[in-house]
Amino acid sequence: MDQGVLIILAILVLGVLSKNNSLALAAAVVLTLRLANLKQALIFLDKNALKWGIIILTMGIIAPFATGEITSKDVSDAMRNPSAIAALIAGAVTVILSGKGTDLISTSPQIVIGIILGSIIGVAFFKGVPVGPLTAAGIVAVIMQFTK
């Protein structure tokens, strides 16, 4: 068995043991594609899954506006609430960092390994949700700017 399969299998086991269904399912799908020798599908995922994930996440975030769960009055009221204003600032900073992370990942692929491992550790052992890799890369980008 090659090293890639062993690593994905280990990730699958971590996902199952930590009861993290998202991690386990993702690893199972990738492992299945790899064992079925569907290299083109893996290449396609590698090039497109991040973009799809961002689109699906964004759809989930804006869906409450379409369903009427959040109204313009709710938005207006929230802008007078200190917690909502803090959330607005945090959201903006996170998106800015994620943008920097996307740039860093595309120009420094060696960063990806650390981010992947950190994300797996966070998901498997700390019940984290893997939406932070781009933000993590953005934090690394900011740190790298200060250390140059």
Q: Give residue-wise pLDDT tens across range 106-136.
A: 777 778 778 778 877 887 788 777 766 667 7
pLDDT at 131: 66
Q: What is the pLDDT of residues 11-58, one digit of tens each?
A: 899 888 877 788 889 999 999 999 999 999 999 998 898 789 889 988
CB distance 138 to 101 below 8 Å: yes
pTM beyond 0.85, yes or no: no
Grouping H, G, I as helix, E, B as strand and the rest as coil, residue 37 is coil
Measured distance CA(20)–CA(48) in Å, rounded: 23
